[in-house]
Amino acid sequence: MLLHVPEILSAAQVDFCRRKLKSAAWADGRITAGHQSALAKHNLQLAETDPLAQELGALVLDGLNRNTTFFAGALPRRIFPPLFNCYRGGQSFGYHVDNAVRYDRSGATPEPLRTDLSATLFLSAPDEYDGGELVIEDSFGTHDVKLPAGDLLLYPASSVHRVMPVTRGARFASFFWIQSMVRDDGERRLLFDLDVAIQSLSAGGSGAETLASGQNAALLRLTGVYHNLLRRWADV
Ligand code: NI
């Protein structure tokens, strides 16, 4: 599942991060790349041990911890300390798959982390740069993603993905991985749909989500959950 989570950071928090990142000590992005992805990776990144990465990372983690949509979509068990990158002057990251296991060099989380989900938090507004789309391949095809500053994309870490060349301006982002309490993407999706439907029905009346077609969104989600569970459990 690809999930857009709006407003992890406020506009003021994005501005704060951007001001700090302007004078940051940027390093070659290959410092955290695996063997295959190092060949495709051309960008700038803050070292995991950089105090600025740790300061801004704490801000991002605080935003994640307050966000119920993030929790419902990721069901996080552990979150890798957020990293920060910048693409400019034609920089890009070709097709790759993220490492299945990450070791945190900052020492904040000494245990290795299994990457169930990848996350990109956009810190540049879409009109500040050309190119720079996060392109994700899944069984439904190719998805080009470019979100407002402060918004997050969650996607399965197992997916093949890339970042298109940034041909104008600069694209700043935070990125990190999540080990989920629920390892399987399909199972996590079922729980997310149930959660969203319950929230919608609990809100009731004007709070309940209605689709443009007039259908009740919660009913549609619950029907989907029923059939997706039946698909898992039925022998026909
Ligand atoms: Ni990646």
Range of the domain at 76: 3-180
Q: Residues 20, 135: one domain? A: yes
Q: Quick one: 82 and 140 in the same domain?
A: yes
Question: Residue 187 C-alpha to ligand 1 middle, in angstroms?
Answer: 23
Do 200 and 172 sit in the same domain of this protein?
A: no
The domain boundary residue, chosen from 159, 180, 201? 180
Same domain, 45 and 125: yes
What confidence score (pLDDT) does residue 207 get? Answer: 58
Determine the distance separating the centroid of ligand 1 and the alpha carbon of 161, expressed in angstroms. Answer: 6
Does residue 103 carry a pLDDT above 80? yes
- The Cα–Cα gap between 116 and 218 comes to 27
Q: Examine the domain organization and report whether 81 and 155 are in the same domain.
A: yes
204 vs 60, residue with greater confidence: 60
Residue 32: per-residue pLDDT: 76
Residue 204: C-alpha distances to residues 24, 71, 90, 210 (Å): 48, 22, 49, 11
Q: What is the CA radius of gyration of the chain?
A: 19
Q: What is the pTM of this model?
A: 0.92
**Distance in Å, CA 165 to ligand 1 centroid:** 14
Boundary (domain end) residue, out of 180, 197, 218: 180
- Are 206 and 227 part of one and the same domain? yes
Of 157, 180, 203, the one marking the end of a domain is 180
Q: 162 C-alpha vs ligand 1 centroid, how far in Å? A: 7
Question: What pLDDT sits at residue 158?
Answer: 93
Contacting residues for 205 by C-beta, under 8 A, at least 6 apart: none
Is 15 in the same domain as 116? yes
Q: Is 178 helix (H, G, I), strand (E, B) or coil?
A: strand
12: CA distance to ligand 1 center in Å?
27
Ligand 1: centre distance to CA 211 (Å): 33
Judgement on whether residues 19 and 61 belong to the same structural domain of the protein: yes
Domain count, the chain: 2
- Ligand 1 centroid–CA 98 distance in Å is 5
Query: pLDDT tier at 215 (50, 70, 90 boundaries)?
Result: confident
Same domain, 39 and 83: yes
Percent above pLDDT 90 for the chain = 81
Cα 160 to ligand 1 centroid, rounded to whole Å: 8
Domain match, 219 and 143 both: no
CATH of the domain at 196: 4.10.860
- Residue 106's Cβ-count burial label (10 Å; 0-12, 13-18, 19+) is middle
Residue 41, burial from CB neighbour count under 10 angstroms (0-12, 13-18, 19+): buried
Compute, in angstroms, the gap from residue 118 CA to the centroid of ligand 1.
7
Segments in the chain forming alpha helices (H): 11-22, 35-40, 51-65, 68-74, 185-203, 217-233
Question: Could you tell me the distance, in angstroms and rounded to a whole number, from the CA of residue 96 to the centre of ligand 1?
Answer: 6
Q: What is the average pLDDT across 142-159?
A: 97
Both 110 and 68 in a single domain? yes
Query: Residue 205: which pLDDT band, with cuts at 50, 70 and 90?
Result: low
Which residue reads 């552990």 in tokens?
78
**More confident site: 206 or 139:** 139
pLDDT score of 206: 60
